Amino acid sequence: MDLPERPKGQIPTSSMFEENVQLWAMSGEFCPEGTIPIRRTREQDFLRASSIRRFGRKIRRPIRRDSSSNGHEHAVGYVSGDQYYGAKASINVWAPRVVNQYEFSLSQLWVISGSFGDDLNTIEAGWQVSPELYGDNYPRFFTYWTSDAYQATGCYNLLCSGFVQTNNRIAIGAAISPISSYNGGQFDISLLIWKDPKHGNWWLKFGNGDLVGYWPSFLFTHLRDHASMVQFGGEVVNNRASNSHTSTQMGSGHFAGEGFGKASYFRNLQVVDWDNSLIPLSNLRVLADRPNCYNIQGGINRVWGNYFYYGGPGRNSRCP
């Protein structure tokens, strides 16, 4: 596969933030040219799954932006009403508490096309804490895709065919390090998803230069052409195990109003236009399904461009 044509207008990530690395690679290990690192799927991974058929898949749910559904709760920023050919963001990395095996907490970007019915196409990437999928509480780099609203197509990472990895140093599903701490060091990962104008495939870039791989355009129906919505933010599962709202955290586990060093953020939000150029967002809207549990506050400034703080603790006196 030829290398893709990278979007114009990329600004290197500011140096006040250290580039994150993956725990497995800290020894300097990487795979030989022509091979890729793959996280081993063990017997225990299958045993934790609700079923073999659903292993590595998101639960099917209608993801409408005006309601939480099926126990999934969001705090997101989004743009719609145009044709989008990609998205970019720097995502603050934390290790939110997830209270049981059947819940998760993630922070990601979604590239979306189609209706929110059975024909929904999405490409997704970010970090997630998912004890069911990984057997631990580390934040891990992940990808996802579907072309039929999470029914029969798509999966996390490399757990089914679809995403084609080309990088021999980055392992999808590997733990990210370092992670941010409250009132301490802040770390983020920069992700870019865009549609290569030469071949039409959707590529993923991690950090300042590493191409991870691509989703072939033939996987999709609507996304063969362009996206109609781009979404950034957090999502948790609330399964109300004890008949009350979960205490699973989103982001840092603190509300947006606490600001830098305390609340989690997305910064330098951009989209890719028809001309393969990265441009700022013109009409970012923010939405929290249950703002007393997890909320979001957007802003714009010269250094961070479009940004927002988001997250929360889940269960509290105003979120019983």
Query: What is the tens place of the pLDDT at every residue in 274-319?
Result: 999 999 998 999 999 999 999 999 999 999 999 999 999 999 999 9
Cβ proximity of 45 and 38 under 8 Å: no
Best CA proximity match to 230, nearest among 254, 266, 187, 197: 266
Q: What pLDDT is recorded for position 66?
A: 41
Please indicate whether residue 61 or residue 102 has the higher confidence score (pLDDT): 102
pLDDT at 12: 60
Residue of 70, 73, 67 whose CA lies nearest to 319: 73
Q: Confidence band (pLDDT; 50, 70, 90) for 242?
A: confident
pTM, rounded to two decimals: 0.90
Q: Residue 272: its pLDDT value, please? A: 98
| Mean pLDDT estimate for the chain | 89
- pLDDT over threshold 50, residue 217: yes
Residue 148 has pLDDT above 80, yes or no: yes
Greater confidence (118 vs 267) lies with: 267
pLDDT digits (tens, 9 = 90+) for 19-71: 556 777 777 777 888 888 887 777 677 667 666 666 667 765 544 444 446 78
Q: Which of 5, 43, 103, 124 is catalytic?
A: 124
Q: What is the pLDDT of residue 1?
A: 74
Q: Model confidence over 151-190: pLDDT tens digits?
A: 899 999 999 999 999 999 899 999 999 999 999 999 999 9
Which of 12-21, 144-153, 190-199, 258-267 comes out lowest in average pLDDT?
A: 12-21
Sorting pLDDT into bands at 50, 70 and 90, what band is 135?
A: very high
Whether residue 204 has pLDDT greater than 90: yes
Using pLDDT thresholds of 50, 70 and 90, give the confidence band for residue 218. very high
What pLDDT does 13 receive? 53
Give pLDDT, residue 258.
98
pLDDT band for position 210 (cuts 50, 70, 90):
confident
From 5, 18, 103, 235, active-site residue: 235
pLDDT band for position 15 (cuts 50, 70, 90): very low
Q: Between 106 and 64, where is the model more confident?
A: 106
Tell me, yes or no, if 124 is annotated catalytic: yes
